[in-house]
Structure 1
Amino acid sequence: MNLKRILLLLLFFGMVSLQAQQDLTGTITDESGQPLPGVNVLVKGTTTGTVADFDGNYSINAATGGVLEFSYLGFITKSVQVGNATTINVVLQEDVSQLDEVVVIGYGTSTKKDLVSSVASIKSDVLENQPVARVDQALQGRATGVEVTSNNGTPGTGATIRIRGNSSINGNNDPLYVIDGFIAGTGFNLNTINVNDIASIEILKDATALSIYGTRGASGVILITTKNGKGMAPGKPVIAVNHYYSLQETANRINILGGQDFIDYKNESYQFVPGPDGFGLTDTSLPFVLDPENTTTTDWLDVVEQPGAISNTDVSITGNSENANYFISGNYFNQKGLLRGSGLERVNFRTNLDIRVTDRFKAGIRANMTHYKIENNKVNYGNIVSSVLPIRPIYLEDGSFSFENPISAGLERNPEADIQHRVDHDLVTQLITNAYIDYEIAKNLSFKSTFGAQLNYLKQNNYLPGILPERVTGGYGRINTRFTKSILNENTLNYNLDLDDHSLKILGGFTWQKDNNESTSAEADNFPNDVVSFNNLALGDSETATVGSGYGQRTLTSFLGRVNYGYKSKYLLTLVGRYDGSSVFETGNKYAFFPSIGAAWNVDEEDFIADSDVINRFKIRGSYGIVGEQGVAAYNSIATYANTATVFNGSLVNGVLVGQVPSSGLTWETTKQLDVGLELGFFNNRISFEADYYKKTTDDLLLAVALSGQVGANSTTQLQNLGSVENRGFEFGLNTINVQNDNFTWESNLSISSNKSEILELDDQEYISLQSTGNQGGNSARLIVGEALPTFVGARYLGTYKTADEIIADGREGRSFIGGPRYEDVNGDSNINDEDFQVLGSPVPDFYGGFRNTFTYKNLSLDVFFHGSYGAEIWNVRTQTAYYGRGEQNVDPIVLQRWIAGVNETSDIPRAGPSNSLFNVNSDLNIEDGSYLRLKTMTLNYDIPMEAKGLGNVFSAMNVYVTGTNLLLFSDFTLGDPEVNNFTDGSGLGSVSQGFASGQYPYAKTITLGVKVEF
């Protein structure tokens, strides 16, 4: 009987419990009434959970008497007991000052409040809705101290990133990339990281943040953390789809002379071609006069340009359970370039998985695989705007391509022929995987071991068919391949202790990384036909065919440690050290120690300010330390051999000679850096401000020193530690919430940075010359002690000669003429040469930054972002070509403002003149102001309410957006876009060679329409 009663009672309470389960709905907002998307809603004590949609709405099933937990980053977690009501609306309070935001640092994380380092953090919402192929292109202007310059608009081409200036001359000034804890090795390409996979990007800038990476931290470190399911409410996985389509057009088209203007200018120029009387200004020696009536006019830019387009689709699945979380994504990106024949097609797959095996043991893996194809430019844009004449037709009367220059009578490239017949593309496959185990040895003590690998395969295919003028012996084919492999193993111990007012965190570890690279090349010419192109090089001429291969290996072994101590959350101290050993240096110099120390004072925790209604954040911090740079090729410290050949007894005999003289005594470049920072927050962080001053000095710079020919080596230079350079600057960041009410919010973000570089020492060298490409601009960029890195030099341009008396006064009679260029003769010898050169400026800007405004009205938001740079100088190679008067080239339209006798005799633009040294003088006539302000992006986003037309039955969230990129540019620069950077030169110093413009691949003005949905 008692058993029956018990069973009946259990059944009764079970039925009551079952009946008490109910569907609950509600809206989650902040204190101003704004909906909070992505809030985690969890039935406490169970695995039942959900996530609020874009409008802050949620729906969940819970029992009466249960407790719902609402949690969201930056807000205080709130618990609500379930009663009889089926609607529970929740208001979350902002976590005052948000100083507990987690920031990723090297080998760990830190709350923002406990951080003593200078670290810039960019979250995923800033990166989204930007139609770019690469991460670096989305970073511009977003963080202080980080200068991002888009070199050109070529699909897949990366930007140049400089963190607090150039720290090396011969070494690498690019930052170190760390992806989910894996230190990117040789061959890593940012093309392989899908922007939509990124959860956050941290940029490490000061010594305490960088010295944990030792020899690789001198140029800054960029930490990329990809998404996972951690923090997501357990339950049904979220499927997200993001698709956008972009239309592109040339943003700032370069102007070129049309056929008639070109003919007029050249006819005038040829009046001054040197004749029988030497320099004589006669018209008796003209080779010919162009006939305006019988000359074809071709706009070659119209021939090669096309509207661009981008199609991008992202699909991801995110999930979380009690013991595992995951993020799986796929991406397809396809870009048609602004120049015909150029483009990028990419496929990307990612899997992130974390598993809790036991309460003390965790494991996980990050894997990313990418394959892409770049169709390289078949035509050189700069060549089109200068060397391809507008009086050349595309086709001859018989329908064949026109290759002959009508002035020089030489054969030249035809852009249309190149587009139709030239083959030039790159195929790249990259895999990055990093697995870890994490074991809690004891309370507060844990061990973590990671093992990762990066595999890169590059294949470059190139073929020039016999129809092209470069090929006088039939077609030419070439295949280059490169395989790089990087293996990384890292093992760390972490000890964390919180005891009353004291906190202590200790990190110790051992790491090992090995990079290998292998390359092969093969080329052949004189193909019998162009049918198989590069696919069968054996069809080429075996006597002229060549093959080559290469191999390199380097290893880095390191011990690292970090100690963080805090007292009452007021006083913070950080000690960091790393001991690196590199295989690239000889015995005795292989190892170096890189220490740093940092401290911070959270003034807002002091009693005299803790209760302030105005100041809620006040931190003073400082750091000092040493980081390094290897800057040495794998075998620079040892002697190598090179192939050679000589004639012996009438026959060609192969042999070897010393290829490279060993650079004995080489050691690390070392950078000592001081940083002082201030962080302020007012009115519950409605106004927040951050400022930094830094000074870093790099010693033992690696410079290539010329060797005597008597050494008998194939190499003409040898690396030595000789120089020193200094960078110093200020960084300012300001964030404000200008308006915040029930329906409308307006937030602003401003960043301004300034970096001044100075070369302190170049051994006993007066300067090092950086050679630009082409015939103009050579020897105009130098590395000079006491000046910026780099610096432009040349003669001061004084205008044109207006009278013969001015020519006589300068001692230039017989060597110049009225309307010709006039330069400052510094030494008074009446000759204009290197001895008259002066410092003219630097391509490094005085300051740069970004300004972002975000406006939100109910479900509608508008994001407007400007980026600007001020004070940089740009060397316009094309204007120098114009004044140089080379007859076989087109010239800049600035010549339309030239001095013309009886027409425009007050002009300071030189008259049309001969192709001689008088016009080919490096001077500030060729320098332009590179300052600009650009409307970088503008995004209008609408979150569609799910109750509209029953969308909530299918989707959990949906929004549509339209983004404009590069919509406006304010600049006085005349040659397209002022954002120019590195050029390829013969000095081996390309990492500091910048600021030359000759007509780069155009930048795109882009309109993007996109939609995002979640299921």
Structure 2
Amino acid sequence: MKLKMTLKVLMLFSVCGGQMGVFNTVYAQSVVKTTERVTGKVTDETGGGLPGVSVTVKGTGLAVSSDGSGNYSIGISGKGILVFSYTGYMTKEVAVNGDSKVDVQLQVDQKVLEEIVVVGYGVQKKVTVTGSVATIKGDVLRQSPAANLSNAIAGRVPGVIVSNRSGEPGNDFSTLLIRGKGTLNDNSPLIVIDGVANRGAFERVNPDDVESITVLKDASAAIYGAQAANGVILITTKRGKTGKPVITYNGSYGLTQPTLLPKLVDAGQYATYINEVNDRLGQPHQYSDADVQKYKDGTDPLNFPNTDWYDAVLKDLSPQYRHAISLSGGTEKIDHFISGEYLNQDGIFHKSATKYKQYNLRSNVSSQVSDNLKLSLNVSGRIEDRRYSNYSSGSIFAEVLSAYPTLPAYYPNGLPGPGLAGGRNPVLMASGATGYNKVKDYSLLSDASFNLKLPYITKGLYLSGLAAFDFRFRTGKKLYDNWDAYRYDKASGEYINLKNTEGPINLNEEFRNYQLQTYNLKLGYERTFGAHQLTAFVAFEQSENYDEGINAYRTGFLSSKIDQIFIGGNKDKDNGSVASQSARRNFFGRVTYSYKERYLAEVILRHDGSFNFPKGKQWGTFPGLSLGWRISEEDFFKQKVPFMNQLKLKASWGKLGNDKIDPYQNLQQYILDGGFYFGPDGEKQQGLRAGVAPNPGITWEVANNANIGIESTFLNGDLSFNADYFISKRNHILIARNASVPSSTGLTGKLPAENIGKVDNKGFELELMYRHAINKDFSYQLGGNYTFTKNKVVFMDEAANVPEWQKIQGHAMDSWLVYQSAGIYKTQAEIDNSVHLAGTKPGDIRYQDINGDQKITSDDRVRIFESPTPGSVFALTAGFQYKGFGLDILLQGQGKARQLILPQQGNAITPPVWLFEDRWTVNNPEGKYPSSFDRNDAINNRYSDFWLRSAAFLRLKNVELSYTFPKSTLSRLKLQHLRVFVNGSNLLVFSKIKDYDPELSAVTGTKYYDPKLNAVTGSYYPQVRIMNAGVNISL
């Protein structure tokens, strides 16, 4: 092996000197003493010489490559077997029985040359694709145990940024960005499932149903016009293959747990910390020294409890299991793929009310009615059953982080403790004792299509069409119940029930109905004229969306035993409804041309009409152009660079749109006011008030995207390298002028959005992969990819008096607006000799006076142009296969990201151990963190760079170890396939943020800081690691 690699490296340098063929021969002779020399020529099916063909002596490390004319010369001892291999051709073995000359003709490997890539509204040969298009096979996705398909994409595709902020069952999806952020509005890509756009919830597709996922990243997405500015993701599901029916079962059982959670202080530490807070406020101690000692001793759990709220609320491990079965097969006339899936996920809480169940059914059937007519019918159904506490996971974690460790989860007699306020004991909240929130989503997706060849008109002409009808329904029911929680009265020795402090029982129900209809008709032409290949089509498509729903609310229930709306009281009740519709109509086409699959060109044109814009602005035209040159197909290149099997240069430009905006912005809208109780009967009276002013001139957001790149393979296809550089210039972004208009006008929040925003985005992608088969039993692969993106706001509305250091224009759109710190004050003299906030004491954070006005004000905040959304992502893959054993590893990471770790923000009260142990005190003046403070502290609790941490990380994203049983075993078991595996996800993470997952959305529960809004918002549920085992069986 070492000899073979040495030969390849030396051959690489040799060709640069123009003497590849001679060098190979001389070097091979110098390494191995031979008794015979075999020479010959390797040709293709036309008799032309093939340069760079690998010629090896089977079972040895001896290898040479054919020269520019296909000639080779190799030494061999006695009898042996020569192995000839070349990318795009079938490997051939030839026995040498004393022959001195062996000429070989290699046959084209059609599977390689005709590898098909799904693109918008069609397929193309991979070698002729000129756009920036990436494909993931379904088998690769299934190496991840993640229950959510979106989480399995992370690290698999260069240019795709995947961020998983939550592990909550049923809500554990990732946000996807293609080549970063390019707009001030919605940056999510368009999702297309089996040729139909906007079907929703692709992350809930059964992974076993997925044949491939294709990502369109440049002008190739222009075929989707007004919806393509953020890129396009195409999901293609499986179809039956000709052959006898095959029944396949995939089952797995896994355990989940949070990736990282900070350790909270115990009761003794908490009492000490709170006493220090009181000292700084000039207030008496809340806990005496004797109290602190009793909390530490734990000898009196009734009067001096010591509760670890994480331990009280969270389980060590939570189960997750999945069963999937499919039936696949077909004949020359009809094929079918039928599948079903059941998924069950449990929450991480004790007696968890958080549960998610999913049921998937699919039937894909195609019939070749005649030589010219093919019909297809796809139907899929899904039920998503989510069950939670009536309190969100964020609210539960907020209580976990707020509840004092000096409060009991349960008293020694088994009664539940009081929680921080209102009986909100997080143990009860998490278990559903306080109520429930049940949400069920039903989906039925169906599409029928035909493809009719028209050879009687002209060869290569065809007509195809599709009609899709999608229905989604949601039912929701949320009950706020009364529950028992107790506060122990030390004076009387009684347990006081806090049952009614949260108010009367109330119930909210909702029903939502969503429909999508899509119709498509396409006339296409595909012909080959000698060395010329031409494909073209024109198409029409129309889609219509309908969305409506109702909700009802009542309170005043006497009991929750009958949880029906009509049981509630008549005084406090409400109801509401929602309805909307939208539509699109599109005309589009594409022409592709290639000459000898060497010179490539593609032209796209789409004319879109959208319901979201006013008359006169509803239509937009979106062209795209891409060119490619497979320079490796040139004769001069084959002769000069024989070790490079493929080199394709490509470039593209496209104009794409984004109509992901709120509808009806061109119309005056009115808001139905909540109403007031007045009048002699005391009934609620409602009225209308004007909403945001209309803008009759709104139009498309437009992106001009350009891309240049290369695709290459070396060393007989073992090594591949791809690179792309891209630029996107986005204009006509819809934003309102709320910042530049003084609030004194009373117009803030009432001005319409205008097409005034501009954003530039650029970056590059790299992908490297090495695959090598040592022999039929052992092969391995190593690879990696890297993506860098950088956006800049060219124009957005900003107030005229914004300091230069706070402006976003000219900088990245994502940023933190924070005070700039300069360490911690250690002495009163340091405070007296500096600009500081009123009330500052030794141990407080020191802030810088940026504008020099001798005050610390909001004008001293600065923008730090990094955010939780990374500016770069990367992945490393490795694996091997040996006699049925397989190991696959995926490392995934990100850079240029920052996260705010402010442990006392929002509702948090109880500090984490890391803050307690390294806080500033008189006895620890070198403490890393401020002196003891709580959430009401106006100095240390500010958003500042003191609390910003690099969110760069390297994560062991996926590992799978598998064993596939050999045919001899399968024949005895009467099986076609048997594979067992263990895998895991999010197993390890390496980051400067040691106590929190670097992809987290919040550190303190319900709320977290949103840098875009410069506000506290959002919810929280920790990311989870998954350890999983399963089996694949085919009958």
Residues 808 and 785 of structure 1, relative CA distance in 2, 3 Å threshold: same
Segments of 5+ residues of structure 1 without an aligned counterpart are 1-29, 35-72, 79-90, 274-281, 770-780
Q: 1:674 aligns with which of 706, 721, 736?
A: 706
- Choose which of 946, 967, 977 in structure 1 pairs with 2:967: 946
Q: Which residue does 2:250 correspond to in 1?
A: 242
Q: Is the 8 A contact 2:397 2:1004 kept in 1?
A: no
TM-score when scaled to structure 1? 0.83
SS of the residue 2:375 aligns to? strand
CA shift, 1:224, in A, is 0.6
SS in structure 1 opposite 2:311?
Answer: helix
Structure 2 letter corresponding to 1:700: H
Which residue among 320, 339, 354 is the counterpart of 2:366?
354
SS in 1 for 2:890: strand
Q: Which 10-residue stretch deviates more, 832-841 or 456-465?
A: 832-841
Distance 1:33 1:241 in 2: 39
| Residue 983 (structure 1) shift | 12
Relative to structure 1, is the Cα distance of residues 599 and 995 closer, same or farther in structure 2, using a 3 angstrom cutoff?
farther
Equivalent residue, structure 2, for 1:483 = 513
Corresponding residue number in structure 2 for 1:391: 406
Displacement of 1:77 in angstroms is 11
Question: 1:286-301 to 2 correspondence within 5 Å?
Answer: 291-292=291-292, 293=294, 294-301=303-310
Determine the C-alpha separation between the residues in 2 that align with 1:686 and 1:995: 51
- Whether 2:131 is the aligned partner of 1:110: answer no
2:620 maps to which of 574, 581, 592: 592
> One-letter code of the match for 1:684?
N
Cα drift, residue 977 of structure 1? 0.9
Give runs of aligned pairs for residues 919-998 of structure 1, distance below 5 A: 919-948=940-969, 951-952=971-972, 954-981=974-1001
Note closer, same or farther for the CA distance 1:810–1:676 as it changes in structure 2 (3 Å cut). same
Match of 1:665 among 697, 700, 703: 697
Flag the 1:491–1:190 CA change in 2: closer, same or farther, 3 A: same
Shift of 1:726: 1.4
Paired AA for residue 669 in structure 1:
E
Cα deviation, residue 928, structure 1: 0.9
Name the residue aligned to 2:645: 616
In the aligned structure 1, how far is the partner of 2:961 from the partner of 2:830? 60
2:160 corresponding residue in structure 1: 146
Instruction: Give 1:774's aligned residue.
Output: none
Aligned counterpart for 2:272 among listed residues 237, 254, 264: 264
In 1, Cα distance between the equivalents of 2:134 and 2:1015?
A: 27
Q: What residue number does 2:447 align with?
A: 434
Residue 253 of structure 1: how far off its partner (Å): 2.6
Report if aligned partners of 1:877, 1:996 keep a CA contact under 8 Å in 2.
Answer: no
Q: Report how far residue 466 of structure 1 moved.
A: 2.1
Counterpart AA for 1:759:
V
Distance change in 2, residues 1:96/1:603 (3 Å): farther
* CA 1:515–1:613: 2 relative to 1, 3 Å: same
Q: 2:135 aligns with which of 105, 121, 133?
A: 121
* Map of 1:689 onto structure 2: 721
2:238 matched to which residue of 1?
227
Equivalent in 670, 688, 691 of residue 641 of structure 1: 670
Distance, in Å, in 2 between the alignment partners of 1:206 and 1:32 is: 45
2:213 is equivalent to residue 189 of structure 1: no
Change (3 A) 1:524 1:999: closer
| 1:450 to 2:466 alignment | yes
Structure 2, unaligned stretches of length 5 or more? 1-54, 60-86, 93-104, 295-302, 485-498
Contact 1:879–1:892 (CA under 8 A) maintained in structure 2: no
Distance 1:729 1:501 in 2: 36
Q: Please give the alpha-carbon distance, in whole angstroms, between the structure 2 residues aligned to 1:518 and 1:33.
A: 69
The answer on whether the counterparts of 1:131 and 1:310 sit within 8 Å (CA) in structure 2 is no
C-alpha spacing 1:801/1:590, structure 2 compared with 1 (3 Å): same
Please name the residue that 2:65 is paired with: none
Instruction: Check the 8 A contact 2:473/2:513 in 1, yes or no.
Output: yes
Secondary structure of the corresponding residue to residue 784 of structure 1:
coil
CA distance in 1 between partners of 2:106 and 2:961 (Å): 26
When the two structures are aligned, how many residues end up with a matched partner? 900
Find the aligned partners of 2:290 and 2:736 in 1 and give their Cα distance.
49
RMSD of Structure 2 on Structure 1 (CA): 3.4
Corresponding residue SS for 2:779? strand
CA distance in 2, matches of 1:701, 1:470: 50
> What is the TM-score normalised by the length of structure 2?
0.82
CA distance in 2 between counterparts of 1:246 and 1:353 reads 33
Aligned partner (choices 151, 155, 169) of residue 155 of structure 1: 169
Q: CA deviation at 1:255?
A: 1.7
**1:762 and 2:796 matched:** yes
* SS in structure 1 of the partner of residue 686 of structure 2: strand
* Structure 1 CA distance for aligned equivalents of residues 57 and 976 of structure 2: 24
Offset, 1:240: 0.9
State the alpha-carbon separation in 2 of the partners of residues 93 and 1000 from structure 1.
Answer: 58
Cα offset, 1:433, TM superposition: 1.1
Q: Match of 2:534?
A: 504
Letter in 2 for 1:911: S
In 2, are the aligned partners of 1:783 and 1:789 still within 8 Å (CA)? no
Specify the SS of the correspondent of 2:949. Answer: strand
Deviation at 1:998, TM superposition (A): 9.0
1:568–1:907 CA distance, 2 compared to 1 (3 A): same
C-alpha distance in structure 1 between counterparts of 2:573 and 2:941, whole Å: 40
Distance 1:132 1:767, change over 3 A: farther
Q: Which amino acid counterpart does residue 427 of structure 1 have in structure 2?
A: K
Q: Is the 8 A contact 1:980 1:997 kept in 2?
A: no
For 2:707, the aligned partner's letter is D
State how far apart, in whole Å, the 1-side matches of 2:962 and 2:106 are: 24
Name 1:876's counterpart in structure 2: 901
Deviation at 1:761, TM superposition (A): 0.5
> Which region of structure 1 is more displaced relative to structure 2, 490-499 or 627-636?
627-636
One-letter identity of the residue aligned with 1:582: S
Alpha-carbon distance between aligned partners in 2 of 1:127 and 1:33, rounded to the nearest angstrom: 35
Indicate the larger mover: 567-576 or 586-595.
Answer: 567-576
Task: State the match for 1:67 in structure 2.
Answer: none
Determine whether 1:464 maps to 2:480: yes
Aligned runs of 1:510-909 on 2, under 5 Å? 510-533=540-563, 536-611=564-639, 612-644=641-673, 645=675, 653-706=685-738, 716-738=750-772, 740-765=774-799, 784-812=808-836, 815-843=839-867, 844-878=869-903, 880=905, 889-909=909-929
**Equivalent residue of 1:142, what SS?**
coil
Which residue of 213, 216, 233 corresponds with 2:224? Answer: 213
Q: Which amino acid aligns with 2:882?
A: Y
Q: Which letter maps to 2:780?
A: W
Name whichever of 794-803 and 392-401 sits farther off.
Answer: 392-401
Q: Which amino acid aligns with 1:464?
A: Y
Asked if the contact 2:893–2:952 (Cα under 8 Å) also holds between the matched residues in 1, the reply is: yes
**Does the CA contact (< 8 Å) of 1:134 and 1:190 recur in 2?**
no
Amino acid in the other structure paired with 2:963: Y
Q: What letter corresponds to residue 398 of structure 2 in structure 1?
A: N
Distance 1:710 1:302 in 2: 52
1:907/1:109 CA distance change after superposition, 3 Å = same
Which range moved further: 700-709 or 112-121? 700-709
Identity over aligned residues, as a percent?
Answer: 27
CA distance 1:550–1:711, change in 2 (3 Å): farther
Q: Compared with structure 1, are the counterparts of its residues 696 and 714 closer, same or farther at alpha carbon in structure 2 (3 Å cutoff)?
A: closer
User: Does the 8 Å contact 2:904/2:1004 carry over to 1?
Assistant: no
- The Cα shift of 1:356 comes to 0.6
Q: CA deviation at 1:265?
A: 0.5
1:1011 Cα deviation (Å)?
1.1
Contact 2:837–2:856 (CA<8 Å) still a contact in 1? no
Shift of 1:648: 8.0
The separation in 2 between residues aligned to 1:986 and 1:496, in whole angstroms, is 57
CA distance in 2, matches of 1:488, 1:192: 21
- Structure 2 vs 1, CA of residues 261 and 863 (structure 1 numbering), >3 Å: closer, same or farther? same
